[in-house]
Each structure stands twice: as structure tokens, then as C-alpha cells.
Amino acid sequence: MNIVSAIILTAALLMIIAGMFCLVRTYNLIRIIIAIEIAMKAITLLLVFAGAVNGNMALSQTFVITMIVIEVIVAVVAAGIAISLYHKNGNVDIRELTNLKG
Amino acid sequence: MITFATISFLGLPLLAILLLNVVSKKTGGAISISVGYVVAIIQMIAAVVCMALLWMHGKDFIEFSLFWDMNATLGAAKLSVDLFSLVVLFCIGMVSLASLLTAKKTIGEKTLNYTNLLMVIMLGMNGIAVVTDLFSLYVFLEITGIASFVLIALLNDKRGLEGAFKYLVMSAIASALILGSFALIFTQTGSLVYGDVAKALADWRNAQYAPLLIVGFVMFIAGFSIKAGIAPFHGWLPDAYQSAPASVSVLLGGIVTKMAGVYALIRVLNSVFVAMPMINNTLLILGLISIVFGAVAACGQKDFKRILAYSSISQIGYIILGVASGSLLGFVGAMLHFFNHATFKTTLFVNSAAVEMQTGTTDIDQLGGLQARMPVTAVSSILAFLSMAGIPPLAGFWSKLLIIIAVWQSVSAVGGGIALAASIFTAAYFLILQRKVFFGPLEDHLTEVTEAKGTISLAAVLLSIVTVAFGVLFPVILNFLHLQGIL
């Protein structure tokens, strides 16, 4: 394993950890969406890394572009739900989301 | 004939989406429901036709493509159907039909939006059933996921939005894990087509990045376990099921999580991770935890839909257990349990929709003695419950039997024993449910309640007929299995 792949893998790992840490620590709906996006960006990096290692860069690029598109749609839907929740609750705190229990 | 049947799986929902966006919003409601019926029924017919053709030609699978020539270049994308995917395609048609029949009475002015999203979700699920590479699998998983978030939040109420957001966050984490595992596997294989990946992974212990592959396998199991709602990863599932509108609960509980989680997991497991005992063992343990946890947790619930959600966790455990046993018998059992679960869980969710529509609540403490007022709902729910608890001769008994025999034979008697014992809990929580909702004296404020008329009762009756008929005719299938030397 050469130094470049080591750096990329470390960066990806750090980004995933950052995203998950943010997800666990925050109570804000918008920050949760950002946390998910950070984790997904790490995966994008991993896919590019995979393409570089195995030489099939074309497939990797296709995958990454498709993934970015899908990710944007997920972020839009998430933001839409967050906005509706803001209108219902008056804030974006996930501690307010306690209607469903059991 | 065969071209039409196979293309209809992806082409028909696409066509329906185009059609439904032409009609005006005012008049579109009734038309859209009819279009939905047609699509669902044609899909069921096409699945049966393809099964007959497979059997007639003695083939294991049919390969096809949609708008491109799959033989034009080497490595062009292919779609393929085999017996398992045809069974699940039939289930998708059946559950979608039940969901539409429920929606006709319950969804109100959002009918057009609902049907549009239903077509999107059908497209996604059919895609998961027919794809042959990991890339397309991910795309269709996300289509299914996104459509279901919007469907849960369709009525724009507080609970729906909350359930949808929880599902969305968990599903996004699952997607990240699944995609990460695909990336790490792709590092080693250089291809994403199932067959090529399986070949490249056959010798993975000597691979350059073997430690990364192990991380990939772990991420794969965790990601699909979240999508499927297997026990330690199940947090979002009861919330999503409970908060969704009635007809969307039918869809989610009947088929969506099973397609996005269980079917995709089984498909990748069987065609990519061939002969990797460690993954099978992990899934075996997860399956057993899921069975026991789901059943025990369901006993303490107070909401009709929430009990059904926890029982879904438990039943999905059985499907996973059958597959994880690694034998052909276990796989057949899992496939049949997949079908059975789609039937009886859909029946029960249709019943919960009927109860909710007529009484305005799904809290079981406020219900009681509905048997006299809603006979069709009560009888069909009892049939579905008996099938789920594994009472012969109903369908659920046979598939559970096959799974437990498979685990007993090929893994350990302990696993089979635990699965068998957990069946008693299934009976326990459903007896609680039946007693509180349908049996006993009629509550005072429920004396005016009447049977849910029209399409909801129709859906419950049709699904009950399937449950009973499949159970009674099951010896034919057993005989077939015996002739094939599986049993």
C-alpha cells in the first residue's frame, strides 16, 4: 500500500467518523442533514479511490456522478421534511420529535 | 410474449408515471387509482406468465434489456429474472393492489400524488428484483427509499413527518454503509456485475486489500440490516410503520422494507458472496436475535400498527434465518416465507386500516369487541394471525416448518429450537391483539361502528383467500420439492 492510498483511506475514515460524530452529537435537523452529507462525501472519495486502484476509472466516475445526483435528491427531501417540521414545531430540535413512542 | 412480459416490469410503471402527469389534478384521482389497478394486475399476470415460461423451457433465468441491445458490446448491462425474483414481483403486484384498494377509501384528496409515488416505488422495487449489478441495485434502492420517505410524510402531519425523518436518517446511514462496502469490494474486483464480483472474490483472502474487504463485508451486513430492520438496527421501523398513512403502511409493511432490505441482501448474498460461511453465521445470529426480540417487544405494545411492525421484525428474522442456513431447503423456505409474509402482513395492515377508518384510532386500549360489528375484518385478521403463528394447515406453518427443518439440519438444533420457541411468542402477542381489538364485550363508544365497506373489505377477503388456498394446496409444492430431492 503506497502513501497516497494510505492518505486517501485515512481521509475517508476521518470524514466518516466526523459525519457520524456530528450525527450523534447534534440535536439540530439541519446539522443532521449536513452530517449525512459529510459521510456520503467520504464514500465518494472511497469510490474514486477504488477506481484508481483497479484501473476501471470510467465505471467509478459514472458511479460517483450518479451518486452525487441521488444524494442531492435525498438532501432535498430531507430539507423539505425539516422545513415542514419547522412549520409544525416552531424549531428544528429533534428532542421535540416525541410523538412516536412504545 | 416473453419480451412483453419482462419489459412490462420496468416499462409499465414508467409509462404510468408519464400518463398520470398528463391528467389534471382535479379529475386525476379516480383515473389514477384505475391506472394503478391495471399496472398492478398486469404485473401479477406477467410474473405468472414468466414463471410458466421458465418452467416450460426448463431454464433457470431469463435475461433481457430495456431500451438497449444487451449483446451489442461486451459487458453491457443486463436485467434478469429467475424464480425468486418472479415470486417477489408477484408479491409487489399483489401488495400494491391491496394498497391501492385501501387508498381508494382512505387517502382522500392526495390520491393523485399517492398513485404517482406508488408507481415510482413499484419501479424501484421491480428494479431491485431484476438488476444484475451492484451499481443499478444502489440506484433502485435509493428510488425506493426516496419514494417511501415522501409517502410516509404524504399527509403532512406531525407524526408522519417525524416518522419520515427518522426513516430518512437511518436509511441514509444504511446507504452510506452499503455504498462504502460496494466501494471497498469494487477496489478489489474492478467490476460491479454480480457474476464478475463473485469470481474476483472467490480468492479474497490473498487479495492486496484483504483487510479492507473484511471492513466491506461488515459494512454490507450492517447497511442491509438497517434497511431490513433486523433487530439491533430496527429503531426506525416501528415509527415509520405507525406514522405512515394507512395505505402506505400496507405498502411498507407488506413489501417495501422486505424488498429494499431482505431481498437485496439475499440476492447479493447468493450471487456475490457465494460460500462465505462467516457472513452466513453472522446473519444466523442476527436472525435469531431479531426473531426473539421482535416477538418479545411486540407483547408490550399498545398500538395496532406498532404490534404489526414489531412482528415484522420477528418474521423478517425467520426469512434471514432460512437464508443463513446456507442450504437449498432453507432458501426455498425463506422464499415461501417471503411470499407468505407479504400476504398475511398485508392482510393485517389492511385490517388495521379498516379499524382506523371506522373507529378513528389504532390504540388497542380504546378498542374492544369489534368482532360483532366488523365480521369480515375480524375473520380475515384471525386467519392471517393463525397463518403467522404457524398453525397448520395455513400457509405460514409450512414455510416456517421448512426454515426450522433447514436450520436444524444444516446448522444446529439450538438455532432451530430457539426459532421454534419464539413461535409461541408470536401466538402470544397476537392473542393479546385479538383479545383487545376483536374479542370480548363491545366498548360503549363503539356501538355505532360498522364494517368497512367496499374496496378495503375486498382486499382483506382476497388476501385471506390467498392465505388459505396457498396453505391447503401446499402439499403439492412439498411433493414437487420432494421430487427435486430437496426435502
Q: Quote the ipTM score.
A: 0.95
Spatial contact of B321 and B284, defined as CB atoms under 8 Å apart = yes
Among residues A40, A6, A9, A47, which one has the least CA distance to residue A22?
A40
Q: For chain B, which residues score pLDDT lower than 70?
A: 1, 74-75, 275, 486-487
Q: Residue ranges of the domains in chain A?
A: 3-96
Of B149, B182, B190, the CB nearest to A56: B190
| CB contact set of A29 (below 8 Å; sequence gap of 6+) | A82, A85, A86, A92, A93, A94, B165
Spatial contact of B378 and B370, defined as CB atoms under 8 Å apart = yes
Spatial contact of A97 and B169, defined as CB atoms under 8 Å apart = no
Alpha-carbon distances of B47 from B50, B62, B101, B478, rounded to whole Å: 5, 12, 20, 21
d(CA B39, CA B289): 38
* Confidence check: pLDDT of A43 > 80: yes
Spatial contact of B221 and B282, defined as CB atoms under 8 Å apart = yes
Q: A31 to chain B: nearest residue by CA?
A: B169
Spatial contact of B430 and B388, defined as CB atoms under 8 Å apart = yes
Q: Is residue B109 a part of any domain in this protein?
A: no
* Cis peptide preceding B277, ω within 30 of 0: no
Please give the backbone phi and psi of residue A60, each rounded to the nearest 5 degrees, phi first.
Answer: -60, -45
Alpha-carbon distances of B372 from B437, B440, B442, rounded to whole Å: 11, 10, 8
pLDDT-based confidence at residue A102 (cuts at 50, 70, 90): low
Residues 49-88 of A with CB under 8 A from B: 49-51, 53-56, 59-60, 62-63, 66-67, 70, 73-74, 77-78, 81-82, 84-85, 88
Of B145, B162, B168, the CB nearest to A100: B162
Tell me what pLDDT residue B212 has: 85
- CB-based contact A53 B306, cutoff 8 Å: no
DSSP B103-160: HHHHSGGGHHHHHHHHHHHHHHHHHHHHB-BHHHHHHHHHHHHHHHHHHHTTT--HHH
Range of the domain at B359: 276-487
d(CA B137, CA B144): 11
- CB-based contact B243 A100, cutoff 8 Å: yes
pLDDT-based confidence at residue A42 (cuts at 50, 70, 90): very high
Rounded to a whole number of angstroms, the CA Rg of chain A reads 17
Q: Which of A16, A26, A34, A43 to mutate to test the interface with B (most CBs of B within 10 A)?
A: A43
Residues from chain B contacting residue A59 (CB–CB below 8 Å): 135, 186, 191-192
Residues from chain A contacting residue B179 (CB–CB below 8 Å): 40, 43, 47, 67
Q: Is residue B433 a part of any domain in this protein?
A: yes
Q: Which fold has domain A3-96?
A: Helix Hairpins (1.10.287)
Q: Is residue B247 a part of any domain in this protein?
A: no
Q: Is residue B395 a part of any domain in this protein?
A: yes
Q: Which of A24, A38, A54 to mutate to test the interface with B (most CBs of B within 10 A)?
A: A54
d(CA B487, CA B471): 18
Look at residue B255 and give its three-state secondary structure: helix
Residues from chain B contacting residue A28 (CB–CB below 8 Å): none
d(CA B128, CA B140): 6
Q: Which residues pair with B81 in a beta bridge?
A: B62
* Confidence check: pLDDT of A1 > 70: no
Spatial contact of B291 and B418, defined as CB atoms under 8 Å apart = yes
Tell me what pLDDT residue B43 has: 93
Q: A83 to chain B: nearest residue by CA?
A: B161
DSSP state of A94: G
Q: Is residue B482 a part of any domain in this protein?
A: yes
Of B138, B172, B187, the CB nearest to A53: B187
Tell me what pLDDT residue A84 has: 92
What region does B190 belong to: left with phi over 0, alpha with psi -120 to 50, or beta?
Answer: left
Q: Is residue B327 a part of any domain in this protein?
A: yes
Tell me what pLDDT residue B487 has: 67
pLDDT-based confidence at residue A75 (cuts at 50, 70, 90): very high
- CB-based contact A77 B172, cutoff 8 Å: no
Of B138, B187, B242, the CB nearest to A49: B187
Spatial contact of B156 and B240, defined as CB atoms under 8 Å apart = no
Tell me what pLDDT residue B99 has: 93
Number of domains in chain B: 1
d(CA B171, CA B232): 15
Q: Is residue B170 a part of any domain in this protein?
A: no
Tell me what pLDDT residue B54 has: 87
Q: Is residue B71 a part of any domain in this protein?
A: no
